[in-house]
Amino acid sequence: MSIARARVGTHVRRGLVVWGERTRFGLTPNMPFHPGLPPQYTLRLYDSRGKRACGIGSWCELGIRHSWAQMPDLAIGATFGLLSEVKFTVDMDQSFDTNWLLFAFPAVLKTQHAFDPMLLIAILVAFSTSAVILSWAFIPGGLAWKNGLNKRGAVPIPGPRGLPFFGSLFGLSYGLPHRSLARMASRRAATQLMAFSLGSTRAVVASDPRIAHEILTSPHFANRPLKQSVKSLMFGRAIGFAPDGAYWQLLRRIASAHLFRPKHIAAHEARRQVDCGFMIEAMETEQFLNGAVVLRKHLQNAALNNIMGTVFGKRYDMSASSDEVDELRDIVKEGFELLGAFNCSDYLPWLSYVYDPFRIDVRCSALVPRVRKFVMKIIEDHRERQSGNLSHGSDFVDVLLSLSSGEELSEDDTIAILWEMIFRGTDTVALLTEWTMAELVLNPNAQTKLQSELDLVLGVGDKSVNDADVARLPYLQAVVKETLRVHPPGPLLSWARLSTSDVHLSNGMVVPAGTTTMVNMWAITHDPNVWKDPLAFRPERFLDGAGSDDGSINFDVRGVDLRLAPFGAGRRSCPGKNLGLATVGLWVAELVRRFNWVPHESHPVDLTELLKLSCEMKKPLCAVAVPRGGRH
């Protein structure tokens, strides 16, 4: 017999409503609804429109003038063959008292399905959902900030609630997160610190240089949260992501003492010049063949070759195709995509079981063996020819293999460190140079000023620019600094920090332990309260006597002044910033000294941003390179 479904206590059409609960109805011969209930009656079913029904669109009489003894199915627990919501009435010729509820309610509690597991689960889910939504409505920052976590300090941390369960995840997963966060903070007057939720992840973002300095230089923000792709690609043991402690301090000391110290950078100057020379030749060839140059591919090839030479001691002919070069390009490209992809599962862990649009886990699992094979081949080559003597020109593989007892690294740690170096040294240098050249194409006056400075300091000959020359070119340095201000490669400083304890800030706010903490460097460098005319590209703001109080030629972008600290600050700042700045300065000087760069009519310069691992131009720069007189 089918299960009947009816609304409990439905409206009385005529006569007496039979009290019911989903599938059970409370007619019982032992508890009559009225003392005057006749022994003979007719039970009919009515739909919501008042028509008789025994199914959908039809009607029937379940009992016609039968006594209680003749209809045992009408006792408590009876089921009827109904397929739609109906109204039950007892048709009778006489009127009677309708105080039926006092008798009907006990029948509901006594039915065997009153505690149906599915019913209880539905009630529990409905109650929990209502409680979550009610809590969400009163929690600034979203559900990840429940239990008053944003009110631990004298001043509460303001922030958007976002959506229940998801927080601000959807608002940041599309478009440009640094711009979205800047707008959100500005609307809520929360530029000092803003709380928000990314799924179940609690996060704050600072858009104020003073608070940013406190965060970046505090030892309580010395760790980084680990994304799934970071863990899968072995970066959890590399310099950028290893947890603060003896192991991380050892890695940092090794890198600072060997790879990134000034003497080592100077020792590799000639090789950077060679890489730059090959890059310019490739650009000249493309200009001759196509009438314009797409700069990014040449810059990326040169940056990759530069870091491979510095770290691995091995350079490639990027203009030629070979299995090794193709494999290197492919694994670097795949690694960039995986590390730069916005993976919702990082903030909603349960989602990885049902939704993985970028196939992060599968692709990481396929990439790691290829990386291991590529890096191990280079390590084995070094072991075969290792002499044991280090010089300023030694590459980083030699340094790692020569570590003394007690400092020796495991094979997996060595691979992770070397693998990370490729990414830390390739992407930023190439993209920063591209942004700089794009601004010079759009600002011909700045390009002309820079060329005049180059000609004055270096002369008109074909002498290559070196690091000492770059130090004597203040306008070149100002151009690079202004590019870093307008287009910081890591607008959110690439990777966030993680608070290891409750941190009390000078503004009275408290960041709870375990909070993902970001610094919106883009918002700071575009704040009119920090920089005059922040949207304009004006290198002169960094020159003494230029009529601007924004900065000076001595303005340090390496983390001293948080008005402009694109490489971060404190213990977790980028260790390769000096090498990166030296390379970008040399390349920009050579490109501007040898060519006049003008817009291409069919491919105008488009400064639209695209945030991946770093912030890059959505449309690669295409420009016409016109050789300057007297140079080849």
For residue 215, give the 3-state DSSP assignment: helix
Residues 339 and 613 sit within 8 Å (Cβ to Cβ): yes
**Bridge partners (DSSP) listed for residue 195:** 204
What letter would DSSP give residue 311? I
Using alpha carbons only, give the angle 223, 229, 232 rounded to the nearest 5 degrees. Answer: 95
Separation of alpha carbons 400 and 420, rounded Å: 14
In three-state form (DSSP H/G/I as H, E/B as E, the rest C), the secondary structure along 122-154 is HHHHHHHHHHHHHHHHCCCCCHHHCCCHHHCCC
Phi, psi (degrees; rounded to nearest 5) at 84: -145, 165
Query: Burial level of 206, CB count in 10 A (0-12/13-18/19+)?
Result: buried
Separation of alpha carbons 491 and 486, rounded Å: 10
Region of residue 217 (left: phi > 0; alpha: psi -120 to 50; beta: else): alpha
Pick from 617, 247, 623: nearest CA to 407:
247
For residue 194, give the 3-state DSSP assignment: strand
Residues 375 and 418 sit within 8 Å (Cβ to Cβ): yes
Residues 464 and 273 sit within 8 Å (Cβ to Cβ): yes
For residue 55, give the 3-state DSSP assignment: coil
How many angstroms from the chain centroid is the CA of residue 597? 35
Pick from 436, 484, 486, 426: nearest CA to 295:
436
Instruction: Kindly report the number of other CB atoms within 10 A of residue 171's CB atom.
Output: 19
For residue 430, give the 3-state DSSP assignment: helix
**Bridge partners (DSSP) listed for residue 202:** 197
Instruction: Kindly report the number of other CB atoms within 10 A of residue 40's CB atom.
Output: 11
Region of residue 234 (left: phi > 0; alpha: psi -120 to 50; beta: else): left
Element containing residue 286 per DSSP (H, E): helix 269-290
- Residue for token pair 């694109």: 566
Separation of alpha carbons 579 and 261, rounded Å: 9
For residue 619, give the 3-state DSSP assignment: coil
622 annotated as belonging to a binding site for a ligand: no
Q: How does strand 516-519 pair with strand 201-206? A: parallel
For residue 256, give the 3-state DSSP assignment: helix
Amino acid at the residue 277:
G
Residues 229 and 341 sit within 8 Å (Cβ to Cβ): yes
Amino acid at the residue 492:
L
Residues 587 and 280 sit within 8 Å (Cβ to Cβ): no
Q: How many residues does the chain have?
A: 632
Separation of alpha carbons 260 and 254, rounded Å: 9
Using alpha carbons only, give the angle 84, 90, 95 rounded to the nearest 5 degrees. Answer: 145
Q: Which residues are annotated as a binding site?
A: 574
Q: Which residues are annotated as a binding site for heme?
A: 574
